[in-house]
Structure 1
Amino acid sequence: MAKATKKQALGRGLSALLKDPDNDIKSAKDKNADKVVGNIVELDIESIEVNPFQPRTSFNEDALQELATSIRELGVIQPITVRKIDFNKYQLVSGERRYRASKLVGLKTIPSYIRIANDQESLEMALVENIQRQDLDPIEIALSYQRLIDEIDLTQEQLSDRIGKNRSTIANYLRLLKLDPIIQTGMRDGFLSMGHGRTLINVEDDEIQLKIYEQIIEESLSVRATEQLVRSYQKHGKNLGKEKASTPSVPKEIKTTVKDFSEYFGAKVDVKVNKKGNGKLIIPFSSEEDFKRLKKLIQGEA
């Protein structure tokens, strides 16, 4: 406990040093730079801006709230990483979830590792670090690879060496970016796996590609079933639709009940039934508020 208190006090002391205009550190060679760069410093959270190079574009709100609860109880266990961009101004390199969650609970300061880096180095650090994360979807990873290739001017071989991934793995991710944007969105939303995406790439016709994508969603097709469907397309071409089994009709009683559901929820409820007789109800919502309204109706709170 004494060590932790001493370390925190040191961080606060360094924070005061950084706010002294006479000790403004602009490079690793400046006076006192060795005391700050690479050390944990308690920085004012308002002095930090988000990273425009952050490859992650979406954050799960529920997970963010869970992290905020943990930070409220235990504090920020793992410091964020920032780069100094001006006097008492910093930019996130990594740790945006921790930064966002800390703001949610109203923290005034946050423990931070300080780096001195230019825009290109910051982009590379942010991209490489985020690629190593376990919770990125395949499209986010593919986009990060593409940005490293385009903006850092790396070849696939150089990228392979830089991030420790096989060149074939990198190539497989990059190929996903050739998919129709609708399918890419489906992968980002978790409706498709990377295996589905890699299979769909083999279909050059965009119209057929989307048709197969819709069938995957409607029938919850496995990767193996999708591979069979693609092989059927490659064999029969434009006649793929004729090979597809007819969609089972929805029993009259279910159709009537669905109308009742639609009236109750105030939204057009849809129903899907597969060949085995299993099905699912689809209740659309137009906004977060509309979703909360539906939730209350389902829970019988309305």
Structure 2
Amino acid sequence: MSLLKKAQKGPSMMSKAAAQVQNDVLFGTSANFPRVVEVDLTSVTPNPDQPRKHFDEEELRSLADSIERMGLKQPILVKQVPGGKYIIAAGERRFRAHQLLGRDTIFAIITDGDLDEIALIENLQRADLDAMEEARAFARLLERHSYTHEELGRIVSRSQGEIARTLATLKLPEAMLQEYPAFRKSISKSILQELAFIDDAELRMQLWEEAKTGKLTIRGLRETKKNPDIAKARARGGKAADAPAGDGVSRLLASINRSVKRTSGDVSALKPHKAVLDDEQRAALRRLRDLLNELVGD
């Protein structure tokens, strides 16, 4: 049936006919099919607000080698601006790799979306951002669009709690924020967030110095937060046992009492099932027994 005859069948048939025309425009694809273009590299500009600020030269060279061998598998994402120019929304590493190869053009998909949101989401999906890059990107979106934490969380698929913890890192002392990029690979996001919630400046600096060595674990940091006085004594060159008696030791003893009560209850509940313990579990219980014997002097 021709389109004219379909139109004569009434509005319903006309709508179907229009849809058919729309779907057939580009080899059977829908009208909102992404616009893929080949653009001159000289007409492409990196996004000045790109969340990611650090580009590893070795990784870029590796990507360039891959593109040279296999070709570009995923076009970059750009937004068209006046003057025949484009701003990168996603794919700056691919753009830089083309520059390394001396290419004149690059394939790109044109988007009308928000540059900040696209760039942030693309980097989050690739886990490309360090803790501070992520925090600054969140703060920029909140400021520019007046989002609530809940709204931003929906956009980037994060909980309100995660948004708040990430933003808290921006309140760390300026000296730490300046030092962080040099240690971004050894200091995890979790550690940086924990440090942001420590009010004791001396303790926070002690933990920061330990974190820069790559030896501070998230578990160790949390334990230190529970017993800060003993941690400070250790930092001054003393041992935990040499720490002066006071609130710090009292808190530690109170914590031990709670742990002993909880562990005693767990062990009692386990007694009827001791036959099902495997070798690894038995070894762990023996280590605990030995530590307790050493503590009480038996």
User: TM-score range with shorter-chain normalisation?
Assistant: 0.5 to 0.7
Q: Shift of the alpha carbon at 1:194?
A: 2.1
* 1:92 counterpart SS class: strand
Deviations 1:95-141 (A, max 9, x none): 00000001100111100011246xxx223322333333222212211
Listed as ranges, the matches of 1:156-235 within 5 Å are: 156-184=149-177, 185-186=179-180, 189-218=184-213, 220-233=215-228
Amino acid aligned to 2:132: I
Amino acid aligned to 1:138: A
1:200–1:209: 8 Å Cα contact kept in structure 2?
yes
Q: Shift of the alpha carbon at 1:36?
A: 10
Match of 1:241 in 2: 232
Q: Are 1:76 and 2:72 matched, yes or no? A: yes
Q: Shift of the alpha carbon at 1:48?
A: 0.7
* 2:227 counterpart SS class: helix
Q: Shift of the alpha carbon at 1:153?
A: 1.4
Q: Are 1:155 and 2:148 matched, yes or no? A: yes
1:65–1:101: 8 Å Cα contact kept in structure 2?
yes
Q: Are 1:125 and 2:118 matched, yes or no? A: yes
In 2 relative to 1, CA 212–75 (structure 1 residues): closer, same or farther, beyond 3 Å? same
Aligned residues: 208
Deviations 1:155-183 (A, max 9, x none): 10111122222111111211122222443
Amino acid aligned to 2:206: K
Amino acid aligned to 2:146: D
Q: Shift of the alpha carbon at 1:240?
A: 5.0
TM-score (norm 2): 0.63
1:200–1:230: 8 Å Cα contact kept in structure 2?
no
In 2 relative to 1, CA 102–35 (structure 1 residues): closer, same or farther, beyond 3 Å? farther
1:131–1:144: 8 Å Cα contact kept in structure 2?
no
Whose Rg is larger? 2
TM-score (norm 1): 0.62
Listed as ranges, the matches of 1:47-126 within 5 Å are: 47-116=43-112, 121-126=114-119
Deviations 1:178-230 (A, max 9, x none): 22244344376222112222322232133431122113334712221222222
In 2 relative to 1, CA 198–36 (structure 1 residues): closer, same or farther, beyond 3 Å? closer
Amino acid aligned to 2:198: V
Deviations 1:67-97 (A, max 9, x none): 0111111221100011111232111111000
Q: What root-mean-square deviation, in Å, do the aligned CA atoms of Structure 1 and Structure 2 show?
A: 2.7
Amino acid aligned to 1:79: P
* 1:191 counterpart SS class: coil
Identity between Structure 1 and Structure 2 (%): 31
* 1:113 counterpart SS class: strand
Query: Which runs of no fewer than 5 residues in structure 2 stay unpaired?
Result: 1-29, 240-298
Query: Which runs of no fewer than 5 residues in structure 1 stay unpaired?
Result: 1-33, 249-302
1:36–1:114: 8 Å Cα contact kept in structure 2?
no
Match of 2:12 in 1: none
Q: For 1:244 and 1:213, how far apart are their aligned partners in 2?
A: 12
Q: Shift of the alpha carbon at 1:150?
A: 0.9
Q: Which moved more, 1:62-71 or 1:107-116?
A: 107-116
Q: Which moved more, 1:125-134 or 1:101-110?
A: 125-134
1:216–1:226: 8 Å Cα contact kept in structure 2?
no
